[in-house]
């Protein structure tokens, strides 16, 4: 890759990507995927670029506190590109031992000269040299405990407070720590292949893997990019987090069943269900976004699955698309705040406030009330989210069960899923929450119930 000038440098690219994220133009994971797929980055450079972008976003609160000591005006008054350039430079100086501080400063100044003018480059140089000389400020100087923890663990104070109320302070901080660790890619192995055989195939392509922690047919990628392998292209694996795979296990699909995935995008659970039910069964992948359904079709084609049909529409109006009591299994992977996947989408910490999620429980309950009418007697419904907020999880599920006495919650859910080490679950109501620090997976909520062989109660 040509690196004759700052415009072609790895750090220039990192700053440009961070600027676009800050401006709300795109998500970090999509920008990185596009960048890495479009240029011939070496494995080492691709790794460093990814680390700088994600690391800067993960530690943003901490970095802003440090910069606040050395910048004599509010950071939001700086141009966006200057702000992200300073953040990523401080991140490298604080968290990346392999990068010498002087190299970080020199590169930042070069970028500032190209993007701005002599005054801007002098400002950037002055801030970073002062940090080099004086060292990093001590967080103990922050008198407010909540604010100090927010800076130290680099999460919004309101978020830590929510988790403290739900799980206790120790667990809240362990969740935050887990969110600041670089996640490893998980893949689901096709039921047509043996897990050990797929491991060997990947190893021959330079991909190192270990066995999954909690999912039946999961591998954890320790080194390498699986998306460029023949093993992936030939349909032996699908990228999916282990905790998400557990939702598929919770459905307890048997061969030749008919399954509805009511909120199907991005499609990992739909393809999992299609593999489980086999060619004699079917999966209706339903989602509000027609564009995302196209992506599901592409994944189905890669996996050579011919038993998935897609349908676009609002999951609160399923009866306009499907007849009642059509499916043996119904999955509602509902819209949610996504606070269980912060480690993969770190900018979400800073983009949202608690009040942004106020309508989600109502929407989730509406979807569940509609989805249950799709279920045959003795059928099984699973509700899942990728958040760890009780307001969007167990509170919604328990309200749903109270409205539908024809449903019997799965009281043995955690036993069946073999996730006995989790701390947050209810046998009575058939739900469990997997927290990020427990198994090194995404935070995830799963609940399950069976529809009794009787008419629904009027008004249910």
Residue with the two structure tokens 């069976």: 450
Rounded Cα gap, residues 149 and 251, in angstroms: 39
* pLDDT band at residue 43 using 50, 70 and 90 as cut-offs: confident
Indicate if 212 and 267 belong to the same structural domain.
no
Residue with the two structure tokens 């049909």: 309
The active-site residue, picked from 105, 127, 257, 386, is 386
The per-residue pLDDT for range 363-379, each reduced to its tens digit, is: 999 999 999 999 999 99
Is the model more confident about 3 or about 435? 435
Number of domains in the chain: 3
Rounded Cα gap, residues 78 and 18, in angstroms: 15
* pLDDT band at residue 117 using 50, 70 and 90 as cut-offs: confident
Indicate if 291 and 439 belong to the same structural domain.
yes
364 domain residue, yes or no: yes
CATH number at residue 235: 3.30.70.1170
Closest by Cα among 50, 68, 25, 52 to 107: 52
121 domain residue, yes or no: yes
Indicate if 129 and 15 belong to the same structural domain.
yes
User: How far is the first Cα of the chain from the last one, in angstroms, to the nearest whole number?
Assistant: 62
**Does the structure show a pLDDT above 70 at 122?**
yes
Angle CA(336)–CA(337)–CA(338) in degrees, nearest 5? 90
Indicate if 216 and 347 belong to the same structural domain.
no
**Does the structure show a pLDDT above 60 at 182?**
yes
Neighbours of 212 (CB within 10 A): 20
* Residue 49 domain boundaries: 6-137
* pLDDT band at residue 8 using 50, 70 and 90 as cut-offs: low
The per-residue pLDDT for range 381-438, each reduced to its tens digit, is: 999 999 999 999 999 999 999 999 999 999 999 999 998 789 999 999 999 999 999 9
386 is a catalytic site residue: yes
- Residue 190 has a pLDDT of 97
Write out the binding residues for S-adenosyl-L-methionine. 263-269, 287, 314, 333
Q: Would you report the helix, strand and coil content of the chain in percent, each value rounded to 5?
A: 50, 15, 35
Write out the binding residues. 263-269, 287, 314, 333
Indicate if 101 and 21 belong to the same structural domain.
yes
- Residue 453 has a pLDDT of 81
Indicate if 258 and 405 belong to the same structural domain.
yes
366 domain residue, yes or no: yes
Indicate if 285 and 193 belong to the same structural domain.
no
Q: Where are the alpha helices (DSSP H) in 135-192?
A: 145-153, 157-167, 169-179
């Amino acid at each position: 890759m040509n690196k004759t000038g700052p415009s072609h440098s790895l750090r220039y690219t990192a700053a440009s990507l961070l600027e676009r994220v800050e401006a709300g133009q795109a998500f970090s994971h999509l920008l990185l995927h596009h960048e890495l797929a479009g240029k011939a980055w070496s494995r080492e450079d691709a790794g460093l670029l990814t680390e700088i972008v994600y690391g800067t976003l993960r530690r943003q609160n901490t970095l802003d506190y440090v910069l606040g000591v050395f910048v004599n005006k509010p950071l939001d008054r700086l141009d966006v590109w200057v702000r992200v350039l300073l953040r990523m430079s401080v991140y490298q100086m604080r968290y990346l031992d392999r990068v010498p501080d002087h190299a970080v400063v020199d590169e930042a100044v070069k970028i500032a000269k190209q993007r701005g003018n002599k005054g801007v480059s002098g400002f950037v140089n002055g801030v970073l040299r002062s940090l080099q000389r004086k060292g990093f400020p001590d967080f103990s100087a922050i008198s407010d405990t909540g604010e100090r923890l927010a800076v130290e663990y680099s999460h919004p104070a309101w978020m830590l407070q929510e988790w403290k109320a739900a799980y206790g302070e120790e667990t809240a901080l362990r969740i935050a720590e887990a969110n600041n660790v670089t996640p490893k890619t998980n893949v689901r192995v096709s039921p047509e292949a043996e897990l050990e055989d797929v491991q060997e195939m990947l190893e021959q392509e330079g991909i190192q893997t270990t066995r999954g922690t909690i999912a039946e047919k999961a591998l954890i990628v320790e080194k390498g990019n699986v998306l460029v392998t023949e093993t992936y292209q030939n349909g032996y694996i699908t990228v999916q987090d282990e905790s998400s795979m557990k939702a598929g296990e919770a459905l307890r699909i048997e061969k030749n069943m008919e399954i509805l995935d009511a909120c199907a995008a991005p499609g990992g659970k739909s393809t999992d269900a299609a593999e489980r039910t086999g060619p004699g069964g079917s999966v209706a992948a339903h989602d509000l976004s027609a564009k995302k359904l196209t992506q599901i079709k592409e994944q189905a084609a890669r996996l050579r699955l011919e038993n998935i049909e897609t349908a676009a529409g609002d999951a609160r109006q399923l009866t306009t698309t499907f007849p009642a009591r059509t499916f043996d299994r119904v999955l509602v992977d509902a819209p949610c705040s996504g606070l269980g996947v912060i480690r993969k989408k770190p900018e979400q910490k800073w983009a949202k406030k608690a009040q942004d999620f106020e309508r989600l429980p109502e929407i989730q309950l509406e979807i569940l009330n509609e989805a249950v009418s799709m279920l045959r007697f003795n059928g099984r419904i699973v509700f899942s989210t990728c958040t760890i907020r009780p307001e969007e999880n167990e509170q919604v599920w328990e309200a749903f069960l109270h409205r539908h006495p024809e449903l019997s919650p799965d009281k043995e859910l955690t036993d069946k899923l073999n996730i006995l080490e989790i701390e947050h679950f209810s046998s009575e109501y058939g739900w469990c929450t997997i927290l990020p620090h427990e198994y090194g997976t995404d935070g995830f909520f799963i609940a399950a119930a069976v529809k009794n062989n009787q008419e629904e109660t009027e008004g249910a």
